[in-house]
Chains A and B, each alone.
Chain A
């Protein structure tokens, strides 16, 4: 892929068997990932999970210890950063303080000797509605404006792949929401492939077509936001992407329709199609907003799971909904989100309640809740030597 032409459209990104070790620890362990062209892909995970390292590997700012990186089918693993058809929006924006906004945006075009760099820069500044500030210096702009300049500086080059490293992290909540929508609109307009790294699950769900949840250097689960939310595969995903009520117990009965689990004396049923494991000790869960509170014991219904009686230990009102914590002996504390449909609430602190949810809302996880850490810090000399060798190259 040459860098002296504009990409017609986004290219797909393929990571094959990527490992990245730094002296003393492993940042990424066996990462395989394909991002289809033109998609808005979010890499979501807590800090230190390897998501920023992944981004830097793709940008060419770090070299992988093993594995290959392909952009649009071309192997770019050995290309330098400035040779790759990839641009980055940095977390700190990294705008050049000694240049005007216009010169910042034209920088990439000038380096590639594109025709009419200033005209193209003005055009993209109009797209982000900042053309009237083109002659300012970056430090004379507000945070949101700087963020838009950083975005303009990257997309003006029409990269096959645009990398976004938590670009909205420094903005306040309201501006962040607004920028999320703008970013999404721009991505649809220009049709580029966006790879967005974030630790904000709400941001990832709002913006991305596909989310990969990353933990300890590996991808835990990948899919559409709704799919990940409704059917998490691991306890990590269930808790990192929204909140979950998780229960562990032995499977007591399996039919083609459902898997019944004994949770502290309650028989809880999960649809067989939504359970990753169907024998032995398994972990099942349900989202807090799927639960209903009852002040009397509900009548038996095969399609409804009931837990109780329990006691309300906390009530917190948050406008749209109210969050209840219900302590059920043996099963632990359940979180319940209830929409505020009426004034006030009928359930108060200390009340005895039953909790119910439709069988169809439950899910069964794939992993063991008592999982050991995926990998320890490694001090073995071979991996350090491999890293040294790479840095020397």
Chain B
């Protein structure tokens, strides 16, 4: 008796937990097909219109906010990934003064509540007289993304055998050639993971952005503002599109990774020995 209970309790509990997690996502997706008028709360019938005319509502405000978020995300990711990678390499490969203090300073933005960070930054921008616009958002996002990039890339650098770089130098590679042909390609998986994380953090961010954006609208900010008077179904369309895109990327990576592992295994069996 006891056995049969434990057999279904855990799977049922797991399924329930997943279901609860999926409900908001499912709701967003389903209501992107709602033939809504002003607010998108009650179901009024199925339509593809919102997907087809996503930028035509409110003079394209949804799309403009979405475009801003993409732009900010890309620029902040490029900046944070470049700077963060350089910091990570320096921290693992070299011994310098205040190295351990640097590590603490990089950790602080991750530990500080976003409200405090956002408000603090806003106050600084105000006191040095920088007007709040796209630039201040990008600066703010780059700042908090760097910490995450450093953490992700540092682990990769630490696992890189220094003898590989030495071998590159020994085989007539100048410092730049060794970096471009050995260090960088070997760090690339870590750097890409860090870049994806940065983009996701930047694209998502509402609190810090809200403090430092002035009149510029981003996707999270647009949704926050429009939530008061009913979020248009077009927002659901964009959110669903992002979700589906991310899903496709993850599945592709997993499938190609599995195929690659299988191929390697076959090669191995085919005759190393």
Contact = CB atoms under 8 A, between A and B. Distances in A.
B169 A81 contact: yes
A153 B171 contact: yes
A3 B181 CA distance: 20
A184 interface: no
A88 B272 contact: no
Given A94-B164, A142-B272, A111 B171 contact: yes
Contacts of A95: 167
B185 A87 contact: no
A82 B169 contact: yes
Interface string B177-196: 10001100110000000000
B171 A108 contact: yes
A337 interface: no
Contacts of B169: 60-61, 80-82
A107 interface: yes
B182 to A, nearest CB: 6
A96 B182 contact: yes
Nearest to B172: A111
Given A61-B166, A90-B167, A94-B163, A140 B177 contact: no
A98 interface: yes
B166 A94 contact: yes
Given A140-B268, A141-B272, A142-B272, A112 B163 contact: no
B272 A97 contact: no
Contacts of A81: 166, 169-170
A98 B166 contact: no
Contacts, number: 70
Interface string A78-109: 00111000111011101111100000000110
Given A90-B163, A96-B167, A82 B273 contact: no
A59 interface: yes
A87 B273 contact: no
Nearest to A97: B186
A157 interface: yes
Contact of A111 (B177, B185, B264, B272): B177
Contacts of A91: 163
Interface of A: 3, 59-61, 80-82, 86-88, 90-92, 94-98, 107-108, 111-112, 136, 140-142, 145, 153-154, 157
Interface of B: 161, 163-164, 166-174, 177, 181-182, 185-186, 264, 267-268, 272-273
27 contacts: A59-B170, A61-B166, A61-B170, A80-B169, A81-B170, A82-B171, A82-B172, A82-B173, A87-B171, A88-B166, A88-B167, A90-B166, A94-B161, A94-B164, A94-B166, A96-B182, A97-B186, A98-B185, A111-B171, A111-B172, A112-B172, A140-B264, A140-B272, A141-B272, A142-B272, A142-B273, A153-B171
